[in-house]
Amino acid sequence: MIELKVSETASRLLQRAWQQDVLRGVRWEMAYQNELTVGHIRKARMTGKGPFPVSQGRLGVRTNRLRNSLRATQPRIAGGTVVGSIGSNVVYAAAHEFGYRRIPARAPITRGIEDRKAQYEKAVSDAVVRVFETRGLR
């Protein structure tokens, strides 16, 4: 799980009213950011000839199977939270992400999300503010 901080303006507006419109705006923005992040992970975290040092959080490419399998789920609203994920259905993806026996955790997906954390924070904050501005509530 990656925690995101929203701007002070967005936080103040959220405290006034946490409406479904805001959650929907955040959901759509998160879906867009997740797709951008999948592309980032493919280009920056799963590319080139390995092996790379574990500290880099990168994987070399042999068959493109793992890289091509990366997908973002459609974010959903669960109570007052927007939940989405990025992952793969390739069996060995978990070993690279979390580690397994003699395979150290490289966490290319988590690190790829962390690489783009600032973009997520700005985009989510902007989405919240945009909802309130379109309603004339700011």
Q: What is the pLDDT of residues 1-43, one digit of tens each?
A: 778 888 988 887 766 666 778 899 999 999 999 999 999 999 9
Q: 11 lies in a domain?
A: no
Mean pLDDT of 37-66: 94
86-103 pLDDT, tens digit per residue, is 999 999 999 999 999 999
Whose CA is closest to 46, among 63, 32, 31? 63
Q: 6 lies in a domain?
A: no
Q: 3 lies in a domain?
A: no
Q: 1 lies in a domain?
A: no
Domain hosting residue 74, numbered range: 18-134
Q: 102 lies in a domain?
A: yes
Q: Which amino acid is at 68?
A: N
Q: 121 lies in a domain?
A: yes
Q: Which residues on adjacent β-strands are paired with residue 77?
A: 82
Q: 12 lies in a domain?
A: no
Q: 9 lies in a domain?
A: no
Q: Report the share of the chain in percent with pLDDT over 90.
A: 70
What pLDDT does 19 receive? Answer: 73
- In Å, how far are 35, 52, 72, 92, 131 from 82, measured between CA atoms? 16, 34, 14, 28, 16
Mean confidence (pLDDT) of the chain: 91
- Other beta carbons within 10 angstroms of residue 87's beta carbon come to 15
What pLDDT does 17 receive? Answer: 61
Structurally, the chain folds into a number of domains equal to: 1
